[in-house]
Structures are given as C-alpha cells and as structure tokens.
Structure 1
Amino acid sequence: MTPLAPFSAAHGAPLSAVRSTVLPPHMDGGRVLAVLIDNLDGVVCRYAIDGPRTMRFVSEGSRRLFGYAPDELSSDDGVRYESLIHVEDRAPVHREIMLALAAGSRYRVEYRVHCRDGSVKWVLERGMGVRDEAARHVIEAFIEDITAQVEARQRLAEAESRYRSLFENSVIGIFQTMAEGRYLAANGALARMYGYDSPEALIADLQDIDRRLYVLPGRRDEFKRQIAERGYVSDFESEIFRRDGSTLWIAETAHAVYGAYGELLYYQGTVEDISVAKRYREQLEHQANHDPLTGLPNRNLLRDRLQQARAFVEREGGEVAVAFVDLDNFKVINDSLGHATGDELLLVTASRLKGCLRSIDTVARYGGDEFVLILHCARETDTLQRVFDRVQREVARPVQLGGHELQVTCSIGVAMLDGDQGVDELLQNADAAMYAAKSAGRATFAFYEASLNSAAVERLHLESALRHALERGEIEVYFQPKVDASGRACSVEALSRWVGSEFGAVSPATFIPIAEEVGLIEPITEFVLRTACSQAAQWHRAGFGPLAVAVNLSPRLFRSGAFVAQVALALADYGLPAECLELEITEGTLMDKGVDALEQLQGLKALGVRLAVDDFGTGYSSLAYLARFPLDILKIDKAFVSRATEGTREAILSRAVVTLGRDLGMRVVAEGVETEAQRELFASAGCHEFQGYLFARPLSASSADAWLAANTAAVPAAAPIAQSM
C-alpha cells in the first residue's frame, strides 16, 4: 500500500472532533449530530485504509442509497463495501484514492455500485484521510447518488456525437459564418463542394465571403438583408466561385443565431449544389419562352418585349413599330410537300428575318406561319419602308428544300406604338393591317389605319349570334378519345362545336376567344360539363368501363366562386363518380395573377375530380406551378408534339418533359399525335396516354359510341367506376 503522508489538523477534523462541538446546555450534541448525518441525502462513512475498505462508521443514508442497513456494512461478518463497487471500477477507484492520500489532498471519484435490489447506480465519493480517536489512519467520506446527472451527461454526449456525425458526414454543405464575412465552421461536404481538401482549408482561405465567394457583387449584403427582415433565407440562389476559379450555382437556407442579450452571434445553415437543376430549369424555361422549332421568342416572351419597348420609349424617346409578317400561300406548301418541308421553310424564314434586323430589335414567332417584328426606329415612313422592302426581298429569295426550289412572299401589317395603347390592341392593329396587305394582293405591306377596324363590325355580328347559340341548340358537344399504350380508350375529351344558321360552322379558335371576352364562356362550359357527365354515365351503364371524360376550363370560371358547386351538382345529378371527371386548365390560367387558382383547385380536388394542366410547353416561363398546384395530369401541347422527331433536340426535351411529369407523380398525355413515329417516340419516353388524329378525330356522341365499342374492353354494367390510371 502507498505510504501515507503525516496528517495534520489542516486536513480536516475527524468525526470525534465534530462530536465535541460545543452545543447549548439544553441540547444533546451527539443526538443532534446523528440526526443531521442520518438525514443527509447520501452516506457519511469512515473506513479503514485496507483492501476490503472495512467500514468503521456508516450513516442511515446507506439504506436509501444501497438498500443495506449501516450495521450490515460495518459489522465484521457483514457485507464488505468493496464488493458493492462495480468490478471494472474497483482498481481505478483505489488508485485515485491512494494518489490523493499520498499527496495529502482531498479526493473526488465517480464509480458504479451494485445495490441490494440488483440495480446499478452511479455515485460520487468525496473524502480525505484523517486520524481517528485512536490515532489510526482512516478515510472519512461522503457518498451521494449521481445516477441522474451521469445519465444526463451520457445523453448529452450521445446527442453531441450524433450531431457531430451528421455535421461531418452530411452530403449537404453545412456552415456557420460571422457577420463580418468569414467562416466559423464548415463540414466536409461544403469544403468539397467549394473545391477545398478540408473544412480547415476552406475556413483559412475564405476570409471575405462577399468578394471571394459570390460571383455577383453585393450578394452577401442581400443575404444579410433578407435575414435581418425575415430572420431567415430559404433557397437563396447564387452563383459562386470554387477554389479553382470555376463556378457553380448553390441554394442556401440559413438563419441568424442570437445571444442572450439579443446580439448577433453568427449565421448558420445549409448549402446545396443546384447547378444541374439550374441548367435543366433554364432549358425548360427557355422552351417555355421560345418557339421549339425556330428558337425565336414565342407569344409569351413577345408580350414581355413589347412592354420593355414601351418602357424604353417612355424613358429614352423614339418610336416603336410592330409588324405582323405572314407567309403567303404557306398552307399550300405545307399540305402538298408535308410538315417537314414546311418546318424547314419556317426555319429559313426565321433566320432571314433575324438577318434583316438589328440586335435591339426583336423577331418572334406568333404561331403557324406568322412572325412579329418589334422595330426601334425614327417615325419617318420612308425609313420603315426601306426596312420592310428589305424584309420582303430576303423572305422571297428562292430556297432549295426537299428537292424543290421554293419561293414564298410575305404580307406585312404595321402598327405604331402610340400613347396608352395596350399590347393586345397594338397586336390587333398590326394584325388588321396585315390582312389589309393580303387583301391588296399580298407580297406587300400596309400601315394600320382606323378604317381597318371595319373588321370589328363583323366580329360584333358574330358575337351577337353567339349570344343566342345556346338557346337555339346550335352548340354541340363532340368527344375526342384518348388511348393508352395498348391503343385502348381510357378517357375522352369533351369539345364544344358551333354550327349556326347565320355563319355556319364556326371554328372553336374563333368563337371560344369571343365567348371568353364577352362572358359567354361560363354558360357554354356549364353546358359542356353537364353534357359530358351525362354521356360518361351513359357509357358506364353501357358497359364501357371506367371511362373518364375531360372538360376544358376557362380562366373566367376561376373568378366565380360558384364553379366548384356547379361541378358537384353535375356529378350528383348524373351519378358520375368524381374520379371519372377530368378538368383541364391551361398554363396561363394557373399563373393568372387575377385568379386565385390554388383555392379553386383545392376545392375541386376536395370533390375527388382529377386535374390536368393543358397545352404544356406552349410558353409559360416558370415550372413552379407543377409542384405548387394539386395536379394529376400533364398534357403536352400538340405544337410541341409535332416538332419532336427522333434524334432531334425536341425529342430530347420531349423525353425530359415526360420524365418530369412522371417523377412528379403525374399522368402524362401527348396530344396532337398524328403519325406513328410521334406515337412511338412518346411511348418510348414513357407517356401514359395519347390523343390525336392518328387515333380519332372529335366525334359526335353517336359516332363516339361506335368508336368506343370497337376500342374499349367491355365490362359488366354494374361494375364500379375506378380511377383511370
């Protein structure tokens, strides 16, 4: 045993000395001290400095702590305290106590003990060596239960270990940065993302985040401004420099951490590399803003460019001319030589038009064989005439396509941006001037004049006749089937047709926009909706299975709070299950700022109907709505489908769009399928349904009966209608 150093009074008074403390005459000092010791939440003890730790004194606290009475631990034939100590802790505890005794100091040691009831507790023993009444060297100690504290420390250590593991092993970058712009902490994922070998290297090198990290100056200030305003940033997108000078796009989500007195301590958050997603989104957004064939701005971007042109004129002065350019007799070429040749001609025309204009001007494809030019110019008519003469000469130059030498001319209508004229009015005026140029013999150009508005008179007559079309029974509902990959019908689309006594058959492209503008679209849509529900219920009873019917919705309907109730009433009146009704909404409707589309769609989803986004790919500038709105079906527009041929960029984008829809859990439909090659391309991409002339044109109800009988697997009439998946 390690020799003991001599003890002195400085080492502490033994129990005998404590018992000799002077007390008032009316108090029994020994009894009071015994009561105090026994009531302590722990064990007061004195034991010999020997191997078994022979107890000379044990307080009543031993019953509560160990489950043993004092005499059981202190008698010669009782339980040795050493045996209560956990076997793994005995040697370390003995060593710790002996070192303290040798140094003449107090000791403090934690260890585990086995209790009478079989439990294991953690205890803290504090004590020191003293001399007892017989001048023997003994240890006087106090032992208390610290199980709760030890377990709390263990839980904290485990939590810190888990946090450290998450921090160090996360595949997402994690950081802490100081307000002045340096890194306080970073994990390995962030270091690798930024091109560093270790977090330490990143922290040491990036001492000025604003100037060293962000490509765009002031981006760090914007980060701090948003956190100051909202307390956090979410998906804060920025282009940043990596260590080697290359760049990538990141999205940061972070918040501020404050001290007890409200002082800013640091920012902490996560970083994700979104470079691939950013490029993919830019490709799709480019597709949404540009014509897929020519790459020119489409109608959506055209409107934006016109607004920019107006702002430029108001700020800088000058004039802006808007010209509608329409190819003469293009339909003849397209129908006789095929769509492929027609597309090549449009590509050549687009290139020639761009070559005629300056970089500040715009060439857009408005649709079909129509182009729109936005020209910044002086108002002199002769200057514009020279421009349009050059445009006509360039367009009319012969071109060899498909073994044929083709020469086409164009008719141009010009309107000047003037005063408070709206974009729609400006385009309408240019369109009216273009038709005037065609009426004048084509291959020429005409400036807009107010007299050209005589065409509006005819439109008024058309509008008047349309107001009476429903009551006269002139509006009919036709049905165009949609098929699955096996060619079997899985749903139909309800389409309105107008054959009037005054104008005959009027194209939906003509009367639907009029109905939209004058407020007739609501009763027409309700008529189509109820007719479609009635017909679908009849087909179900006839044994055509769980056939869904799709109805197109107008933007105006979303401004009416009654439409959800109208749908519910139609389903109830005809006994059609909600899952057999599909409602198609265009991209523009979903993003119309004047329409609370989300609330309306949620109301429709609550009924159980299925929601489809129609004309996908026709030009909206954001894909966020695909995740924001509760959509079930994505319909790829026929103009997009017609451009997709195997091996082309359009085919690659087509597959990307289909994959996007499928990954979002949506059912993808290709509409406007006219050739077997188009069907095969979209089928191989994973499209669920197909619609177009390759399968069937819009059919009357009776003709649709016959078509469905030949292309639908019959089921018993009593079978329940299931959701078409």
Structure 2
Amino acid sequence: MNDQASSPGFLPVLRKRRESAWNRIDSERVLQVLVHNLEGMVFRCAIDEHWTMHFVSDGSRELTGYCPDELEYNKVVSYEAITHPEDRLPVRQRIVEAMNGVARYRVQYRIVHRDGSEKWVLERGAIVLDEEGRRVLEGFVEDITDQVLSQRQLSDAEQRYRSIFEDSVVGMFQTSIDGRYIAANRALAQLYGYAGAAELIAGLSDIAGDLYVESGRRDEFETLMREHGRVSDFESEVYRRDGSRIWISEHAHVVRSPGGEPLYYEGTVEDITAQYHYRQQLEYQATHDPLTGLPNRNLLQDRLQQVVRLASRRGTKGSLAFVDVDNFKLVNDSLGHGAGDKLLVEVARRLKSCLRDSDTVARYGGDEFVLILGDYDGLAETLHILHRIQDAIAEPITLDGQEVRVNCSIGVSIFPDDGVDLDVLLRHADAAMHHAKKLGKGQFQFYTETLNVEARERLALDSALRRAIEEEALSVVYQPKVNARGRACGFEALVRWESAEFGSVSPVRFIPLAEENGLIGQLTWFVLRQACHQAAAWRAAGHPDLRIAVNISPSLFREKDLAALVGAVLEEAGLPAANLELEITEGMLMGDVQRSLAVLGELKAMGVDIAVDDFGTGYSSLAYLKRFPIDILKVDRSFVLECDSGNGGLAITRAIVSLAHSLNLRVVAEGVEQQTQLAVLNALGCEEFQGYYFARPMPAGQVAAYLAGR
C-alpha cells in the first residue's frame, strides 16, 4: 500500500475510481436530501446591506420560524432584520475580515426567532463566486443555544464556587495526595496566620511535618481517607505561622478521576480551640474533685486499669489503699465546714507529696481518699510509703488560727492477689480500713480473709439468695419518675428481698453478691419480667404512656442474644418496646466497646430506650458518649444532693446537663429529696426527676392510688 501511494500513477487511478463511484449515484438527489434534512439552515446570500438570501434550506423553519419562501429575497423579512441588533456589526466585521483574508469564516451570534425568543447560532461559511461570477456567501447556520447556555451555567457555577471559596468565612483547601497544599482560601490563610493563600501554600510545603503538632497525625488522616474516602470532625492541634497552637476540626473527602483514581483531597477547616478547651474543662470538672483538684472516683477505674496492665506486663504487684481521716467530723462540727474544707485540701496535698508522679491520689468522697500505688518492690517499700503517709498526716495544721492534729486509718488491698477489679479492691481495702479503725484508729491494715468479718455471713447469704431467686421469693417495687410539671411519666423497677433468715437485706448488699456469684442474670430476668407485665397492666388500665425502667447488669452484655431475650420478655408481657427503658452503668461503656455498640444497636433497633445510670460516678472519658446510641442520662444522686449547696455539686450537675443536651439526651435527676434541689435541677433544664421528695419505692398494688392522687 505505501509503495502504491508513493508511485506517480496512484493518484490518477484513485481519482478515476472516485469519479466512477460518483457517476453511479444520483448526486442531485443526494445533495437535496442532505441540504433539506440537516438540523440547521444551508444558505446562499448576497453580500449587501440586508444579507439578501438567494437560497435557504428547509431547516430555516426550525431555526428561525420562517419558511424558505419568506426569507428568500426578503419577501417577508431580511436575515439582517432577524439578526440581533447588538450582533449585526460584529457579524459584518467578521465576514469583511474573511473577504480580505482566507475567504472562510466562523462566527457566533444571536438571532430573533419569529416567536420573539432569542437563539444563539453558529454560522460557518465561505466567500465564493456564483454562476455569474459575483461574490456571495454560502454556508450553514446551526442552533447552539443549549451549548451556549450550558457553558454560561458552567461558568456561572465556577464563578459562584470561586466566590464561595474565596469569600467563605470557613477555611477551605485542596491538598495533593502526598501532602502539599494545591489551593487555599483567604479564611484558611488567616486561620493559620498567613497574609494570603499563596503565602500559605509556599509556607506549608510539608503538611505532615509543618502543620500538625502530634507526630503521625497526617498519617491517621490519610489512613481514614484510604479506608473511607472522607473524614469528619477530624480534630487536631496545629501550629500557626507564629508558632502558637490552635485546635482545628477538618471535614474532607477524596476527589477522584472518572476512572476512580484519587486526585486530591478537598475540605474545610474550622478553629475549635474555644470549644475544645470548654470540653476539656467539662471533662476535668466531671473527673476531678472541685475542692482538692484530685481525680475523683470517675477516674479511678481508668487509672487502676493502666497500673494493673503495667504490673501484669512486668510481673510485679501494686496496692490500693483506702484512707479515711480520723475525727474529721469533730473538726467539721467544731470549727465549721470552711475549716473542714481547708483540712481536706491540706490532707490531699500531703498525700500527693508522699507518692510518686506515677501513683494516683483520688478523693473518693467526704473525708475518704483512695491511693493507687503501682509497681512497688515488695512489702517493705509499701510499708515505708504507708508509714510516711501516717507521719505526714499526723503533722499539725493551723485552721483559722487554731492548731489541729488528725490521724488517718488505712486499709490496703494488693493486686493481683486480692483482685484486679476496682470494686473488688475497694471493697477489700474498705474492709481492712474498718478493721484498722476498730483497732484504735491511726493504723493501717492489709486485707486478708481473716479480716473479712462477713465471710461466714456471706456464705450463708449466698445460699439464701440462691434459694430466694430459684423460688422467686424476691419482690419488685416501683419508684415514680415525674416530669417538670410533677406528673408521673414512668417508674423504675427495684428489687427487694425480705429474708426469713437475714430480715430485710439491702440491695446494696445482695446485688453485688449476685454479680459475684453469677446469679445476676436470673435476678435481672426476674425483675424484667415482673416489670414488663406490670407496665402492660398499667397500659390496660388507661396509662399507655407510662415507661418502666429496669437496670441491666454489665455481665449480661456478654450474652449473645441479649436483645432477643429482651424481645421475648416484651412479647410475653404484651408490652411495646417504646414503654421500656434499660438502664446501664457507665462502666459498661468502658469495656468491650465494639460489643457494647452492637448490643445497644440491637436494643435501639427494637425501639427500647437506653439510659446511663448514676452518670458522673465512673466514666473516664466523656468523648465516648457520642459513640453510643443513648437516650437518657441519669445524674447520680451524690451530685443531686449537693446541687443546692453552692459547692462543686452544682458545677458538675450543670456540666452534665449541658453535655447531655448538646448530645440531644434526656436528663433524669435521681435522689431528689428537697424542694430546693428540685428548683435548681428544674432551672438547669432536667426533664425528669426521681427521689423521696416525690415518693418512695412502692409495691405494685399502691401504684394505682398514687397515680390517682397525682
């Protein structure tokens, strides 16, 4: 083929073949069909004042609204007349340029359709000689209105986007996959302390190394992008140009090519420094004692877990000490609460001075402190620390001009020997501390089985509890919950045990025992069935909106079919899921997070409400809250009892209510006993209340009369 094409005889042969093919076709018919069926108008016109048309194709009807007979020779209207007035001169100038140049032209302009609408057209033509040798225009005009409008819309959209990008008060950016800024707006530049976007792009050439305070933070950002294609509320501490630090929240996504390849990251940045520090303040208030500044019981679980894990890795031991200030009540009563507070602050300072930075001193409540002493080398070093504490506490202190001396009683449990769980270690240390007080105060004692004065009683109590659960000899009472108007909106189901052998046994005593000996599951299902059947009876009696709340033990979260079991109880009782609230403890959320999320998700899908009970007494990180499908926070009674006393109880309660409302949770205050407490809680925005101020727990038979009285 190449040899033929380059040979001198090839072109004449090819031309002859084409002429032969054309001769076999009715060329006039083909041209007429093409001319009159094209979408657009084929024309020949004179180069005169009116662009007098000598010929137009049938496409003129669609394009202009005029048929060929009306346009040809200006019988009805001239083409000059339907050309938009603003475009006539530019069109003529373009054609004149063609006449003086290459003789071909291309011009875009507007025409006025017969119906009065405007159209954008593209005219392509050439200056040729007609049959009489005169110069005329021959060409083709097509409708490009849609393309022009689309281009304008795209241009407008791009302009709007650019305007939004540049003028937004929120920082906006585009970064390359390898961590360089491609684009940034003025707000982002100002946020990071740069004069403009160009300066920011030049100054932050390495985002990972120059921007983030925490090493590896950009790697976490990129990992989320690879796994999910986006990040939301990605909070980080970053450096500004002057070296100062701020906290930001990023929302970003991956922009991909049509083929799915990642091109760059695009997103927004907000300065959340104020919000971050406010959250830190709330968390600090909820996890630290406002009087002494020490960690409170909320942090103990977290601190103990850290120390226990460390001791396990190293094969060492640690100890938990329960410290009670002797004769504190005497100081408080004789010198006043102000002096008592000063004494507690000084005791806290002295306790801290006796320990290492890695140890923990927490105020457990009142005049009680808890020490977590990790990784000490044997009993001798622990004894040395305990003696040093006793000596430090025994030093005189001046309160309001009066010298005071106090001692402390200390009980100690050893982990892992005496347990690794906080509740177990606290219980053992508390038992040892009380034994120390019986020996004359100002002493310390270690926990041993011989010191557990309730050991034999507990064995008997265990057997009696097993029988009571098997024989369903326990009872369920119901404590009302009321709304802000004082109207009963639900009840909490509480278990009670009247034992023939032990008399009235407090739930504080037998529920922990049921947890320890594995009976808590049977106990919980007994209460749940009783409560659901009772709530169904209330519905039938004309109280369809009353909700029943039942406490769920943390150990039940290990059961595979918890949601199915709850559903079976509801079905058996004929109670809608919306009438049931399940109360869980904060510690439940701090264990197996994924398992807790799955179980709570199943319960929520059924329509059951989830409440966190005794909130503020055991949680180590408020950030976990938003991860769980929770509906209600119950403020622990220890804060409720102090909320009207003007001390830290009010601050913590206010912080908890504010936190709950920010997460769209309903707040229930439990343990309300005084009108003043109710007034404060009402003002803070609590939605529901529970406590002796309204009613004590009552048998099911008294509920009807209570409701009628309310």
Q: Does the TM-score normalized on the shorter chain lie above 0.5? A: yes
- Which residue of the partner structure matches residue 665 of structure 1? 664
CA distance in 2, matches of 1:400, 1:497: 48
Over 3 Å counting, the alpha-carbon distance change for 1:139 and 1:605 in structure 2 is: same
Over 3 Å counting, the alpha-carbon distance change for 1:610 and 1:254 in structure 2 is: closer
Within 5 Å, which residues of 2 pair with 1:340-379?
346-367=344-365, 369-375=367-373, 379=377
Within 5 Å, which residues of 2 pair with 1:92-111?
92-103=90-101, 105-111=103-109
Contact 1:292–1:640 (8 Å) recurs in 2: no
CA distance in 1, matches of 2:337, 2:632: 28
- The CA deviation at 1:604 is 3.8
Contact 2:586–2:615 (8 Å) recurs in 1: yes
CA distance in 2, matches of 1:195, 1:598: 41
**Unpaired runs of 5+ in structure 1?**
1-20, 713-725
Work out which of the residue numbers 410, 413, 427 in structure 1 matches 2:411. Answer: 413
Over 3 Å counting, the alpha-carbon distance change for 1:679 and 1:444 in structure 2 is: same
Over 3 Å counting, the alpha-carbon distance change for 1:420 and 1:121 in structure 2 is: farther
Contact 1:589–1:595 (8 Å) recurs in 2: no
- Which residue of the partner structure matches residue 173 of structure 1? 171
Over 3 Å counting, the alpha-carbon distance change for 1:657 and 1:549 in structure 2 is: same
Contact 2:301–2:620 (8 Å) recurs in 1: no
TM-score normalised by L of structure 2: 0.84
Over 3 Å counting, the alpha-carbon distance change for 1:579 and 1:262 in structure 2 is: closer
CA distance in 2, matches of 1:463, 1:396: 41
Within 5 Å, which residues of 2 pair with 1:95-174?
95-103=93-101, 105-116=103-114, 120-174=118-172
Contact 1:633–1:669 (8 Å) recurs in 2: yes
- Which residue of the partner structure matches residue 440 of structure 2? 441
- Which residue of the partner structure matches residue 615 of structure 1? 614
- The alignment covers a number of residue pairs equal to 691
CA distance in 1, matches of 2:328, 2:463: 33
Within 5 Å, which residues of 2 pair with 1:317-716?
320-328=318-326, 346-367=344-365, 369-375=367-373, 379=377, 381=379, 383-396=381-394, 408-417=406-415, 422-424=420-422, 430-449=429-448, 451-452=450-451, 455-471=454-470, 474-536=473-535, 546-560=545-559, 563-564=562-563, 567-568=566-567, 571=570, 578-593=577-592, 596-645=595-644, 648=647, 650-701=649-700, 707-710=706-709, 712=710
Deviations 1:660-706 (A, max 9, x none): 32343332111223344332222211112222233333334456555
SS of match in other structure, 1:477: strand
AA aligned opposite 1:62: S
- The CA deviation at 1:444 is 0.6
CA distance in 2, matches of 1:582, 1:315: 41
- The CA deviation at 1:508 is 1.3
- Which residue of the partner structure matches residue 84 of structure 2? 86
SS of match in other structure, 1:684: helix
CA distance in 2, matches of 1:381, 1:434: 18
Over 3 Å counting, the alpha-carbon distance change for 1:550 and 1:397 in structure 2 is: farther
AA aligned opposite 2:488: A
Over 3 Å counting, the alpha-carbon distance change for 1:175 and 1:430 in structure 2 is: same
Work out which of the residue numbers 44, 65, 77 in structure 1 matches 2:75. Answer: 77
- The CA deviation at 1:125 is 0.3
Choose 436-445 or 294-303, whichever is displaced more: 294-303
Contact 2:231–2:253 (8 Å) recurs in 1: yes
AA aligned opposite 1:464: S
SS of match in other structure, 2:147: helix
- Which residue of the partner structure matches residue 45 of structure 2? 47
Contact 1:47–1:139 (8 Å) recurs in 2: yes
Contact 2:418–2:425 (8 Å) recurs in 1: no
Deviations 1:43-84 (A, max 9, x none): 222211222110122234334533544333213524322233
Over 3 Å counting, the alpha-carbon distance change for 1:76 and 1:562 in structure 2 is: closer
CA distance in 2, matches of 1:300, 1:78: 93
CA distance in 1, matches of 2:569, 2:315: 56
User: Quick one: higher RCO (CA 8 Å, sep 6+), 1 or 2?
Assistant: 1
- The alignment's C-alpha RMSD in Å is 3.9
- The CA deviation at 1:177 is 1.9
- The CA deviation at 1:503 is 1.9
Over 3 Å counting, the alpha-carbon distance change for 1:604 and 1:177 in structure 2 is: closer
**Unpaired runs of 5+ in structure 2?**
1-18
Over 3 Å counting, the alpha-carbon distance change for 1:375 and 1:228 in structure 2 is: same
TM-score normalised by L of structure 1: 0.83
- The CA deviation at 1:329 is 6.1
Over 3 Å counting, the alpha-carbon distance change for 1:696 and 1:458 in structure 2 is: same
- Which residue of the partner structure matches residue 10 of structure 2? none
CA distance in 1, matches of 2:292, 2:501: 40
CA distance in 1, matches of 2:690, 2:496: 18
Contact 2:359–2:371 (8 Å) recurs in 1: yes
SS of match in other structure, 1:694: coil
CA distance in 2, matches of 1:252, 1:505: 58
CA distance in 2, matches of 1:114, 1:587: 75
Over 3 Å counting, the alpha-carbon distance change for 1:237 and 1:664 in structure 2 is: closer
- The percent of aligned pairs where both chains have the same amino acid is 55
Over 3 Å counting, the alpha-carbon distance change for 1:476 and 1:421 in structure 2 is: closer
Contact 1:617–1:636 (8 Å) recurs in 2: yes
Deviations 1:436-473 (A, max 9, x none): 42343332112344644675443232211111123555
